[in-house]
Amino acid sequence: MNKAEILQELYPEDLLRYSEKLTEKEVDLLVKLREILETKLEPVIEEHWKNETFPFEEFKAITDLGLMNHPDLFEGREGEHKVSEYFNLFRLYELARTDTSLATFFAVHAGLGYTTLLQGGSPEQIAYYGPKFASFEMQTCFGLTEPDHGSDIAGGLATTAVKKGDTWVINGEKRWIGGAATADILPIFAKNPETNEILCFLVPGDSEGLSVEKIDGKIALRLVQNGHITLDHVKVKNEYRLPNITSFKDVSRILYTTRADVTHITSGTHAGSLKYALEYAKEREQFGRSITKFQLIQEKLARMEANTVTGIGLSYRLATLQAAGEFAEVPASVAKMQNARLLRETAALGREICGGNGITVEHKVAKFFGDAEAIYSYEGTHEINSLIIGRHLTGKGAFA
């Protein structure tokens, strides 16, 4: 099959053909990713969802695929550290289409953690850690939010870093940090109380005084191992500090750069909700005939399809802007806010199509229904993104 035929088979929901921007070699990798997801991950996700565990053994087949560093992804892009924005869109879309948690875990590492290194690190730090992160030889995460400070973290960062000689002593707590317990390197953001600068440190996961407690009992993203981090007089050498992060403006640039990742994950979650709801509808019979023959079911599916195409379109436009070097806060907030808002409807419609069966993980749409709530609130809540847009429109900040 040629590229167009392969994409039609991969993404029948992409009716406006946004995926055409992908190169043939990028499509080849996505085909391989789909095969891994279907043969290795899908069979085990339900059990891991029930147990709130992550399928690390099976996920290794994905990391070994080279989704961050495969040479085919850098043809004509020599010297770049990151894959194309369009491939980034569809690798996250593909992961989320199977399970939102898989995409979130990947994005925390390849998006938030890796971007923190690339934007904040020295050339020497990037040269050393960059290849290790890109190959998943080292896993990373993103240690910003705290137990008492999420949306107001810009002015409320309570974790401190005090310098003593050539060593920094870090004290504080971090919460909701995905992948923290298994991370080899944890980027930890802390305030220097003497200068009020916001700094970031690459803290080794085995550091003395560092502990991670898993957060249990979640209704969403149950595979992701979110951690509550405690830093009790953790000592790190000055060489572990990222020199290009000295203020919350630097942190914000990381956030709105990677907010596109959440938009892409949201688009994939739309598609997954549609895929599994449609599969169920085709198999389910009521009143002596397939429920796909009922007008109410077709109307719900049509709305899900329209939301999915809208989501891909928002992701595509954001990827286009960022491919041109335009990493801007307001467009990222618009895309994330609207896509996540629509996802609540898409996931709810999928659950409705499945009726009572829609509340069991066996029929898969229940996972997306719960995950839609997490997406609505992470990487900039709906409210915070709306205030960013409102400030742009009115010229008035209304955050407090």
pLDDT of 153: 81
- In sequence order, the β-bridge partners of residue 226 are 178
More confident call, 124 vs 399: 124
Per-residue pLDDT of 198-244, as tens digits, reads: 999 999 999 999 999 999 999 999 999 999 999 999 999 999 999 99
pLDDT of residue 278: 97
pTM: 0.96
pLDDT at residue number 83? 97
CA distance 288 to 167: 73
Express each pLDDT in 113-125 by its tens digit.
999 999 999 999 9
Query: Cβ(273)–Cβ(324) under 8 Å?
Result: no
- How far apart CA 273 and CA 343 sit, in angstroms, is 9
Distance of CA 312 to the CA centre of its chain: 15
User: How many angstroms separate the CA atoms of 219 and 90, rounded?
Assistant: 26
Residue 60 to residue 382: CA distance in whole angstroms = 33
d(CA 323, CA 85): 6
Contact (Cβ atoms closer than 8 angstroms) between residue 183 and residue 228 = no
Contacts of 40 (CB under 8 A, 6+ apart): 58, 61
pLDDT of residue 379: 82
Nearest one of 232, 214, 212, 231 to 222, comparing CA atoms: 214
Q: What three-state secondary structure class fits 205?
A: coil
Q: What CA–CA distance (Å, rounded) separates 388 from 395?
A: 10
* Cα atoms in the Cβ-side hemisphere of radius 13 Å centred on 70: 20
Asked whether residue 165 carries a pLDDT value surpassing 90, the answer given is yes
DSSP bridge partners of 204: 185
The per-residue pLDDT of the chain, averaged, comes to 96
**Residue 256 reports pLDDT greater than 90:** no
**Predicted local distance difference test score (pLDDT) of residue 151:** 81
How is residue 208 written in tokens? 């003395």
CB atoms closer than 10 angstroms to residue 282:
10
Band the pLDDT of 375: cuts 50, 70, 90. Answer: very high
CA distances from 274 to 84, 268, 293, 342 (A): 27, 10, 17, 13
In this prediction, residue 154 has a pLDDT band, given cuts at 50, 70 and 90, of confident
Task: Show the domains of the chain with their CATH numbers.
Answer: 3-134 (1.10.540.10), 153-240 (2.40.110.10), 248-394 (1.20.140.10)
Residue 94 pLDDT > 90, yes or no? yes
**Residue 110 near residue 284 (C-beta atoms within 8 A):** no
Average pLDDT over residues 6-20: 97
What percent of the chain is modeled with pLDDT above 70? 100
Structure confidence at residue 349 (pLDDT): 98
Cα separation values, 163 from 134, 166, 190, Å? 31, 7, 12
Q: What is the pLDDT of residues 97-117, one digit of tens each?
A: 999 999 999 999 999 999 999
Q: Give the model confidence (pLDDT) of 264-317 as tens digits.
A: 999 999 999 999 999 999 999 999 999 999 999 999 999 999 999 999 999 999
**How big is the CA angle at 73 (ends 72 and 79), to the nearest 5 degrees?**
105
Mean pLDDT across 3-19: 97
Residue 112: is it exposed, middle or buried by C-beta count within 10 angstroms (0-12/13-18/19+)?
Answer: buried
Cα separation, 170 vs 188, in Å, equals: 9
pLDDT (0 to 100) of residue 167: 97
52 pLDDT band, cuts 50/70/90, is: very high
Taking only the tens place, the pLDDT of each residue in 330-373 is 999 999 999 999 999 999 999 999 999 999 998 899 999 999 99
